[in-house]
Structure 1
């Protein structure tokens, strides 16, 4: 499903099938890195399913798809510039495909928005951010597997360093007026997300 969606997306802008396959292999390779436990192809698959459920609410579907595939394409738990580097690579690849500049710019902004999760004036950006955070509002079983996988990605850090940082990040969400910016995801996940986050904080 992921590969077919990606190749179909690229075919809207380029006839270079060889390039399309090279770019897919780059996506697959990056998201399959052995140091990734949460930011994986499975994560992309989950987001694609959920975005498809709200496709009728999305104004620019192609832009959202480019954002989906590239938002975590660069991921290093030791760095704080993953979003910027992912956005830069997305821009570079979309330019190779001759994607129109407005789509490239919107995609770049959406990827950068995943760093702060702030309310955006662009509704598509809000839908993407909400989808990216949807795991927070899933069942405790799914949520607990998520936070354990995130911990594995930061395995280099001892609890003495990791736990305060994680608690700060989680508290950041609880301090928000709304974790989820769209009405659809707010109604679906907000209550459970806050319960899950509070529960994890108590376990740290």
Structure 2
């Protein structure tokens, strides 16, 4: 699945307006291609879409999940603690404009807000989105190291004295979870390698 085609196809299901779909895609593209987006960019979205594709047919409201994927990092400011809330608000406004069902908009918003803490919830689709968002943690050593490097660049405004303790806190947060991945599907693929990568990173901080 390709990002642009997937997104525009989603919009067209509800708006049936090619110009509107193109405009909304261009907005996504601009947001995720911003100058300081070294990790939270279009490549991140494509990675998430790739790992979710095999399980999409197991989800009742696929469109809400996919829209959440595209908008979950729509607003991203390394100095803000309201990125998820602001991203959910932006998604709500845009989905209302294309006539996306109200209940599905609320579900999409819930998906996005859940990426703030990455805690397991009762909604299976939300858990799949959370797992896809964290799947980079279970990647190869080289991919994981590149991810860490890019995250550090996104937080380059902070000196090591500030960044390293904060990053260590995040890494410990995930390591202290009973399971990093909420679904059996992602757990089988990534849990072991994710813990190994996180432990290796923590040892080097």
Q: How many Å apart are 1:60 and its aligned residue?
A: 1.5
- Distance of 2:50 and 2:170 partners within structure 1: 26
Q: Secondary structure at the match of 1:13?
A: helix
Query: 2:134 — aligned with what?
Result: 133
- Distance of 1:203 and 1:5 partners within structure 2: 39
Query: 2:58 — aligned with what?
Result: 57
Q: How many Å apart are 1:164 and its aligned residue?
A: 0.2
- Distance of 1:18 and 1:59 partners within structure 2: 28
Matches within 5 A, 1:1-204: 1-204=2-205
Q: How many Å apart are 1:18 and its aligned residue?
A: 1.6
- Distance of 2:34 and 2:57 partners within structure 1: 33
Structure 1's consecutive aligned runs of 4 or more residues displaced over 6 angstroms after TM superposition are none
* TM-score, length basis structure 2: 0.98
Q: How many Å apart are 1:28 and its aligned residue?
A: 0.1
Paired positions, count: 204
Q: How many Å apart are 1:56 and its aligned residue?
A: 2.5
- Distance of 2:11 and 2:29 partners within structure 1: 15
Q: Secondary structure at the match of 1:155?
A: coil
Q: CA RMSD in A?
A: 0.7
